[in-house]
Structures are given as C-alpha cells and as structure tokens.
Amino acid sequence: MDRLLDASRTSDDIGEVSLRPQVLTEYIGQKDLKDNLTVFIGAALKRNETLDHVLLYGPPGLGKTTLAYIIANEMHGEITVVNGPAIEKTGDLASILTKLKPGDILFIDEIHRLPRVVEEVLYSAMEDFMLSIVVQRDAGAKTINVPIPPFTLVGATTRAGDLSSPLRARFGIMEKLNFYTIDEIKDIVNRTARVFQTTIDEEACTEIAKRSRGTPRIANRLFRRVRDFANFRGEDHITSDDAIAALNALKVDSLGLDDVDIKYLNTVIERFKGGPVGLESLAAAIGEESMNLEDVYEPYLLQLGLIDRTPRGRIATPLAYKHLKKDHQGSLF
C-alpha cells in the first residue's frame, strides 16, 4: 500500500529528478561515502579507466539512485537504469549489456532481486567484460563468448544480506548509506525550497526535518505537502505554524512516526504484551506486508530505540511506552 512516509518510489515523486544534485560537491550528507567516491572516481579518471563496480546499500530513500546518476556524470558516461526484477531472462540482460558504450554506467536497482540465472551471466560481464551465453544445440550445449565494452555496474539494494556471495565479491566498491542528521535534512529542505522558488522559515524547516525520519525522499515529499497547504491558503511563504498545522493534518508526529508506525507499536504493546512477537504475526495483525515493515519502517524504529529485534521476535522498548504515553499494561497515563 502506498503511504505518505513510504520511502519506496511512487507516482508522487514527480519532480524528483529536478531535485537531484548533479555532482558530488552538491550532494548533501554521507560525508565519508562522498570522500571515498571522490578518490575512486578521481583515480579512475587519471588512469583513463572505468570505475570499479559499485554496490550501494541501505534503507530506501537515502539517495542511492541519485548517487548512481552522479557517478555517471562525474565519469562522463551515459547511464542505463533498470530494475532487478525487470530482467527476467538472460536475453534481457544481454540486450542491455550489448548496447552499452565504453565507460557507460549500468544502474540496477533492487539488485538482490535478480533471478539467479541472470545473475550468473552477470559474473563474466563484471569480471572479464565478456558475455557468456549458453546456446542449446541438438548435440548439446555450446557457450558463446561475446566481448562487451568496459562499463561500471552500480547496484543498489535495501537488503545487502540477500545478495549471493559470488555477486557481492565482484563489487570492488561497497558503500553503506546511513540516515541523515537533522541539520543535513534541513540543508536538503532549504535546497528543495529554492528549487521550487518558495521561501521557508528556519523553524518550519526544522519542523519538517525533525519529522522526515532522516530520509531525504521523505523530507522532499513532506515539503511538497506542506507547500500545498500554504499555497491553498494563497501563501508563497511557509511559516512554522503552517508547517506544524500541515504535518499534524498529515498525521506525522513529532518523531516522524505515521499511522503504520503507531499501529505497529500499539500492536506490539497491547496485543502482544510488549513482545517478543514474530514479524509475520505482527504483519498479519496490522495488515501490512512483512517485507514492507522490515525494509521501510523497522530501520527507523530501531534507530530511535523504540523497538529491539531479538531471536524470539520484536520487542517494544521503554522509549516506545514513553512516546505513546502508555504503561506496561498498554493503558494511557
């Protein structure tokens, strides 16, 4: 189900491309990652080589796709973007690879969802820039090796642990994206406001940043909705009162928790007596997909210290009880 705070991309992301920085110096946050990429890209350019293959992993909405576009721009190559599940057959991959030019970037989002038969063809392409295709003949199978131009594969995943060891081992550069600080999100909101030619109070910017779950995609989405509320009243400037009223109307609380987060915590506390409870049982109880809970909601709840994941299941922490103003019997205090 598409929700306001889902970091997964939706049709609501219209204009997202215009918000993307084009070079590393414009990219806000992820300082260590940026510093490393600056060195790797600079060294590759000096040697007149393609950049080593890059794996970017972390929760959704933190900028993996944006970084792929930046890498292509910095390496002066064109980028081909494809979603892992969309490559169903080896022929699909072969068609993509044979169209690349030297120095191009192939960006595969959700790379952990590549079919295994496709993944195996990718090994030789990444290592030797050779496309090995098995052709079935009457007398038996025959392997045809087709050279392909040197390219850089940029893979993105929210579930790095789901990548097979052989595929993971073929990435020379592996970088994790972390949640952003409030100050970094404020910088992003201010930049977005400039792109949309809207002025915003410092307090309003802070309020949006505090409720953005440390995620740029959510910050940009909340800014758009707050801007909608202001524009509807005929205003082109966003004040603190505007931001608070809009965010409250959107049911995004002071920590950035939405209806699903609150339902998640209330269910653990009230129905399952604070836990432990298994993910599948919890997902069934609140009517959400377990993968959506694990990939989108739990990382932020864990970061805030509102839940713990144990071998026996999920547990609500004392901070969760305090935030919801509930005692250990699940009653309000």
64 an active-site residue? yes
Distances (CA, A) of 285 to 171, 185, 267, 276, 291: 39, 33, 8, 14, 14
199 an active-site residue? no
Tokens of 183: 């100050």
The active-site residue out of 50, 64, 168, 267 is 64
Give the 3-state secondary structure of residue 133: strand
143 an active-site residue? no
Which of 242, 241, 240, 255 shows the shortest CA–CA distance to 323?
255
Enclosing H/E stretch for 8: none
Distances (CA, A) of 300 to 5, 24, 60, 127, 179: 11, 26, 11, 36, 8
The active-site residue out of 66, 90, 152, 158 is 158
Beta strands per DSSP E along the chain = 54-57, 79-83, 105-109, 130-137, 140-147, 152-157, 173-176, 199-200, 237-238, 307-310, 313-316
The active-site residue out of 170, 213, 217, 326 is 217
Pairing mode, if any, of strands 79-83 and 105-109? parallel
Handedness of CA 206, 212, 217, 223 (dihedral sign): negative
Handedness of CA 184, 189, 192, 197 (dihedral sign): negative
326 an active-site residue? no
The active-site residue out of 109, 187, 242, 258 is 109
25 an active-site residue? no
User: Active-site residue numbers?
Assistant: 64-65, 109, 158, 217
